Amino acid sequence: MSFIVVIPARYQSTRLPGKPLLDIGGKPMIHHVVDKARSSKADAVYVATDDERISESCKALGIEVIMTSSQHRSGTDRIEEVARLLELPDEAIVVNVQGDEPLIPPEVINQVAGDIENHVDAQICTLYEDFASEEDVTNPNSVKVVADDAGYALYFSRAPIPFSRADELAVGQTAYKRHVGIYSYRVKVLHDFVSWPQGELESLEHLEQLRALENNARIHVQKACAIIPPGVDTEDDLELARALMSE
């Protein structure tokens, strides 16, 4: 299995400015993410950023950094630029690990890379987890995915899908799959993706993976092989990550 990991990291964040450089257990969050990615089977790990502060912090520890445009609207656009700069072949596999996932298990990185290698007709692969009984499946911040019998995504939504006609939603049942935002791509689909205009579904749901589905790209989904702790989006998330890291 041959793949690289690209970690998009931007300094500006509405809720947590400077998020990649926030301290967790004595070092910046982005360094923890790199450590997890380096513990996977990746051939190489790159941080993709447009910010010199992030670049300098990473280079000080020998982390490979690729400077990218400040005009990108999404992490996928940033990763596509990395693929172009590295002149990766169309069939190369790139795994997108979010820069705010300091506790991501290395085994799920290997899983999503192996999944796309094993499914030659998939252009993208990603993961899901079952909803826990106490989770609110109606929460629009928890993205849901439905797939066919072969594991190919049919749709992603912020709404509870599939919809239950019963009086109460079947929270915690395996009918509800919470999408986890880690992706593997074949490089060809990255180049295609940035050429596709935003479609109606993506515009409505604010989910860029719908752009791929609207353009007939096949996305394979698997249940994550390990529990993935939540990423860091808020101050509460940051404190939780610090507590978990201290354990």
Angle between helices 52-59 and 29-38 (to 10 degrees): 50
Distance CA 66, CA 47 (A): 6
Nearest to 97 by CA among 78, 81, 115, 69: 78
Is residue 224 over pLDDT 70? yes
DSSP 172: T
Give the 3-state secondary structure percentages of the chain, helix then strand then coil, rounded to 5. 30, 25, 45
Least confident range from 29-43, 109-123, 233-247: namely: 233-247
| The pLDDT value given to residue 172 | 46
Return the domain boundaries, the chain: 4-246
Least confident range from 94-98, 160-164, 178-182, 198-202: namely: 160-164
Nearest to 73 by CA among 225, 194, 222, 228: 194
Is residue 126 over pLDDT 70? yes
pTM: 0.93
Q: Is the dihedral of CA 13, 226, 149, 42 positive or negative?
A: positive
Parallel/antiparallel/unpaired status of strands 124-130 and 93-96: unpaired
CB 188, CB 176: distance < 8 Å: no
Task: Tell me which of 3.40.50.970, 3.90.550.10, 1.10.10.60, 3.40.50.2020 is the CATH number of domain 4-246.
Answer: 3.90.550.10
> What is the longest distance spanned by two Cα atoms in the chain?
57
Parallel/antiparallel/unpaired status of strands 27-28 and 153-157: unpaired
Per-residue pLDDT band at 25 (split at 50, 70, 90):
very high
Is residue 169 over pLDDT 60? no
Q: Where are the beta strands (DSSP E) in 80-134?
A: 93-96, 124-130
